Amino acid sequence: MSICIRSPASIANLGPGFDIMSLAITEPYDDVYVEIGHNGNDYIKFVGDYLHYLPSDYKSTTMYPVIEEFRRITGLDFKVRITVRKGIKPASGLGSSGADAAALTYALNKLLGTNLDSKSLIRIAALGETAAAGVPHMDNVAASLLGGLVIINPVTGDFVKVEVPSNYWIVVVLAGSKVSTGEMRKLLPSAIDMRDFKNNSAYASMLIYSLITNNREILSRALMGDSIVEPIRIKFYPHYGIIKETLLKVGAIGVALSGAGPSLFGVFDSEPPRDRIDELLRKSGLRDYVLIITKPTNTGTREVPCNQLNT
Ligand SMILES: Nc1ncnc2c1ncn2[C@@H]1O[C@H](COP(=O)(O)OP(=O)(O)O)[C@@H](O)[C@H]1O
Ligand SMILES: N[C@@H](CCOP(=O)(O)O)C(=O)O
């Protein structure tokens, strides 16, 4: 029995929503082929451009904890053969690690006939993130699984999916590097000031309202209103100022770090001017960046014909 799953990249945090918000985007995405059986050994193979960023030992991938959890839940000792065509660059802040955990969770739920609900699928996929981030954060996997903008309570697992209006565009500028999301999480304080709590809660709530109602002014302040996490992380990203200034100059409603970085994203409500962005980024001296112009997607992990996987 086999299945092919497409899993979208995701932009976590969206400014003030650390660990509680994430947005699925149309491109890039990973395609994951999953086959289960009773014989042989487990096998995970990556194909595509990013092989040197990925673990060679399959037990270190974000898919292994998902396999183990399905074995525990079902009591079955099934074997699994997986091929992943990586379209999402690992460690770029686009939920690359979470996308495959989400794809495999979706695939095994179908192949094993477990019929788990979305809350359970998010919990299982988040276990995969332990391999990349040291903790099972739920935001990226929830958006990859469900599509749209997902708000999740990491304490209880309660979540809502917000359908994103079709007028929005997203620009991602991928530049620089990070050691890992895990390292970028270790920088964060274990307790925060109540003033910051109130600031981020207010902006996170306004972000959702203003996105749905197309309130440009509030959306702008909300997206750029994080006073807790982003101010700490940007010290490690020298390209932050140049990219933010450029995207705002060409009409972005707001700009923030994508996930734990190093990518930044800008939200637009009309088609972004690719050539102008390129010109300004080059003029400002930024080199070795990738410019991605994409859109939010309200579709999460889904089955695709296996011939599209082209492994
Ligand atoms: N299936 C996977 N896809 C991408 N990265 C993976 C995967 N499995 C393990 N990793 C590791 O996880 C790290 C990237 O994940 P992370 O730091 O969370 O960044 P991001 O989610 O932004 O791509 C890299 O060290 C990579 O080798
Ligand atoms: N909420 C997490 C999101 C990490 O996203 P990634 O795409 O950078 O892995 C965090 O901010 O640590």
94: Cβ below 6 Å to ligand 2? yes
CA neighbor of 207 nearest in space, from 182, 224, 230:
224
| Separation of alpha carbons 9 and 110, rounded Å | 21
* Range of lowest pLDDT (69-73, 118-122, 180-184): 180-184
Report, as an integer, the average pLDDT of 279-306: 96
Give the confidence band of 308 by pLDDT, cuts at 50, 70, 90: low
Give the confidence band of 32 by pLDDT, cuts at 50, 70, 90: very high
Report, as an integer, the average pLDDT of 192-209: 98
Q: Check residue 257 and give its pLDDT.
A: 98
Tell me the CATH number of domain 2-163, given options 3.30.1370.100, 1.10.240.10, 3.40.50.920, 3.30.230.10.
Answer: 3.30.230.10
Find all residues with CB under 8 Å of 8, minimum gap 6, and list them.
24, 25, 26, 27, 29, 99, 143, 144, 147, 297, 299, 300, 301
| Separation of alpha carbons 3 and 14, rounded Å | 32
Give the closest ligand to the alpha carbon of residue 98.
1
Contact 129, 97 (CB under 8 A): yes
Q: Quote the ligand 2 centre to 181 CA distance (angstroms).
A: 6
Judge whether residue 21 has pLDDT over 60.
yes
Would the CATH topology of 2-163 be identical to that of 169-294?
Answer: no
Report, as an integer, the average pLDDT of 139-152: 98
Domains of the chain by residue range: 2-163, 169-294
Q: Quote the ligand 2 centre to 251 CA distance (angstroms).
A: 26
Give the confidence band of 178 by pLDDT, cuts at 50, 70, 90: confident
Determine whether the annotation assigns residue 210 to a binding site. no
181: Cβ below 6 Å to ligand 2? yes
- Quote the percentage of the chain above a pLDDT of 90: 93
**What is the residue-averaged pLDDT of the chain?**
96
Determine whether the annotation assigns residue 99 to a binding site. yes
129: Cβ below 6 Å to ligand 2? no
Cα→Cα distances 177→132, 162, 222, 248, 279, Å: 15, 30, 26, 22, 22
- Quote the percentage of the chain above a pLDDT of 70: 99
Report, as an integer, the average pLDDT of 17-34: 98
Pocket test residue of 53, 140, 188, 237 for ligand 2, highest count of atoms within 8 A of CB: 140
30: Cβ below 6 Å to ligand 2? no
Residue type, 67: I
Q: Quote the ligand 1 centre to 136 CA distance (angstroms).
A: 13
| Separation of alpha carbons 238 and 242, rounded Å | 8
185: Cβ below 6 Å to ligand 2? yes
Residue type, 203: Y
- Direct distance between the N- and C-terminal alpha carbons of the chain, in angstroms, rounded to an integer: 17
Give the confidence band of 307 by pLDDT, cuts at 50, 70, 90: confident
Bridge partners, residue 30, by sequence = 7
Query: Cα-flanking dihedrals φ and ψ of residue 51, to 5°?
Result: -60, -35
| Separation of alpha carbons 210 and 226, rounded Å | 16
Rounded to two decimals, the pTM is 0.97
Nearest CA to ligand 2 atom 10: 260
Contact 169, 254 (CB under 8 A): no
Complex confidence, ipTM: 0.98
CB atoms under 10 Å from CB of 249, counted, come to: 11
Provide the CB-side half-sphere exposure for 172 (13 A, CA): 29
Provide the CB-side half-sphere exposure for 24 (13 A, CA): 30
Contact 264, 214 (CB under 8 A): no
Give the confidence band of 309 by pLDDT, cuts at 50, 70, 90: low
Q: Quote the ligand 2 centre to 36 CA distance (angstroms).
A: 30
12: Cβ below 6 Å to ligand 2? yes
Tens-digit pLDDT profile for residues 38-52: 888 999 999 998 999
Give the confidence band of 252 by pLDDT, cuts at 50, 70, 90: very high
10: Cβ below 6 Å to ligand 1? no
48: Cβ below 6 Å to ligand 1? no
CATH number of 169-294: 3.30.70.890
> Could you give the 3-state DSSP secondary structure of residue 247?
helix
